[in-house]
Structure 1
Amino acid sequence: MSFASERSMRYARYARYVSLLALAALASCERVVGIEVTEGPERLVVEARLEAVRGLVVSRQEIRLSTSAPYFSNTTTPPARDAVVEVVDEENARVRLAETSPGVYRTDSLPLTVGRSYTLQIRWKGDVYEATERLVEVAPIDTLYFRARPNKSAATDGVRATIDLRDPAGTANYYLWDQFIDGVRTVAPDTLVRVRVVASDELFNGRRVRVFQPFDGIAVRSGQEVRIRQYSISEAMWRYYQALGAQTDGDASPFGVPSASVRGNVANRTRPDARALGYFSVSQVAERVARVP
Structure 2
Amino acid sequence: MKKLVLICSLIFIYSCETDVTSDITLAGSAPRLVINGGIERNTTTPLTEQRIRLTTTTGFLDDTDPLPVTNATIIVNDGNQDFEFLHTENGIYTNSGITASLNTSYTITIQWQGETYQGSDTLNEVTNFDNVYAVFEEETLFTDEGYFVKFDSTDPADIANFYYYRVFRNGEFVIVPDPGNSRTLVESDEFFDGLQRIEVNPNEEVIFELGDAAIIQQLGISEAYYEYLLELFVQTGNQGLSFVGNPPPASIRSNVFNLDTPSNRVLGYFYAADVEEESLIISE
TM-score normalised to the size of structure 2?
A: 0.79
Question: How far apart, CA to CA, are the structure 2 residues paired with 1:239 and 1:86?
Answer: 25
User: Would the aligned equivalents of 1:87 and 1:119 in 2 still touch at CA under 8 Å?
Assistant: yes
Q: Report the equivalent of 2:37.
A: 48
1:175 matched to 2:142: no
User: Would the aligned equivalents of 1:58 and 1:111 in 2 still touch at CA under 8 Å?
Assistant: no
Task: Give the fraction of aligned pairs with identical amino acids, expressed as a percent.
Answer: 29
User: Would the aligned equivalents of 1:68 and 1:78 in 2 still touch at CA under 8 Å?
Assistant: yes
Question: How far apart, CA to CA, are the structure 2 residues paired with 1:47 and 1:237?
Answer: 12
* Equivalent runs, 1:3-152 vs 2, <5 Å: 38-39=26-27, 40-54=29-43, 58=47, 60-91=49-80, 93-148=81-136
- The one-letter amino acid paired with 1:118 is Y
SS of structure 1 residue aligned to 2:37? strand
- The one-letter amino acid paired with 1:280 is F
Alpha-carbon shift at residue 260 of structure 1 (Å): 6.5
Question: How far apart, CA to CA, are the structure 2 residues paired with 1:279 and 1:85?
Answer: 14
- Could you list the runs of 5+ residues in structure 2 that have no partner in the other structure? 1-20, 239-248
User: Would the aligned equivalents of 1:59 and 1:112 in 2 still touch at CA under 8 Å?
Assistant: no
**RCO comparison, higher one (Cα < 8 Å, 6+):** 2
Deviations 1:48-80 (A, max 9, x none): 221011367545101000000124222221011
Q: Quick check: which has more Rg, 1 or 2? A: 1
Question: How far apart, CA to CA, are the structure 1 residues paired with 2:259 and 2:120?
Answer: 13
Alpha-carbon shift at residue 214 of structure 1 (Å): 0.4
Question: How far apart, CA to CA, are the structure 2 residues paired with 1:201 and 1:184?
Answer: 28
Alpha-carbon shift at residue 180 of structure 1 (Å): 0.6
Q: Report the equivalent of 2:272.
A: 282
User: Would the aligned equivalents of 2:103 and 2:123 in 1 still touch at CA under 8 Å?
Assistant: yes
Q: What is the root-mean-square deviation in Å for CA atoms of aligned residues?
A: 2.5
SS of structure 2 residue aligned to 1:243? helix
Question: How far apart, CA to CA, are the structure 1 residues paired with 2:122 and 2:66?
Answer: 29
Moved more, 47-56 or 282-291: 47-56
User: Would the aligned equivalents of 2:155 and 2:194 in 1 still touch at CA under 8 Å?
Assistant: yes
1:263 matched to 2:245: no
User: Would the aligned equivalents of 2:137 and 2:147 in 1 still touch at CA under 8 Å?
Assistant: yes
Question: How far apart, CA to CA, are the structure 2 residues paired with 1:260 and 1:44?
Answer: 11
Question: How far apart, CA to CA, are the structure 2 residues paired with 1:150 and 1:54?
Answer: 35
Question: How far apart, CA to CA, are the structure 2 residues paired with 1:232 and 1:141?
Answer: 12
Question: How far apart, CA to CA, are the structure 1 residues paired with 2:46 and 2:57?
Answer: 34
Question: How far apart, CA to CA, are the structure 1 residues paired with 2:137 and 2:152?
Answer: 15
- The one-letter amino acid paired with 2:68 is P
Task: Give the one of 261, 281, 284 matched to 1:291.
Answer: 281
Deviations 1:182-211 (A, max 9, x none): 011102xxx545746100000111111110
1:161 matched to 2:173: no
Task: Give the one of 226, 232, 257 matched to 2:214.
Answer: 226
SS of structure 2 residue aligned to 1:159? strand
Question: How far apart, CA to CA, are the structure 2 residues paired with 1:283 and 1:115?
Answer: 10
Question: How far apart, CA to CA, are the structure 1 residues paired with 2:264 and 2:151?
Answer: 42
Alpha-carbon shift at residue 133 of structure 1 (Å): 0.8
**Larger strand fraction of residues:** 2
User: Would the aligned equivalents of 1:58 and 1:112 in 2 still touch at CA under 8 Å?
Assistant: no
Question: How far apart, CA to CA, are the structure 2 residues paired with 1:108 and 1:180?
Answer: 24
Question: How far apart, CA to CA, are the structure 1 residues paired with 2:121 and 2:85?
Answer: 18
Q: Judging changes above 3 Å, is the alpha-carbon distance between structure 1 residues 99 and 260 closer, same or farther for their aligned structure 2 residues?
A: closer
**Larger helix fraction of residues:** 1
1:245 matched to 2:233: yes
Runs of 4+ in 1 over 4 A off after TM superposition: 55-59, 148-153, 193-196
Alpha-carbon shift at residue 102 of structure 1 (Å): 3.5
Aligned length: 245
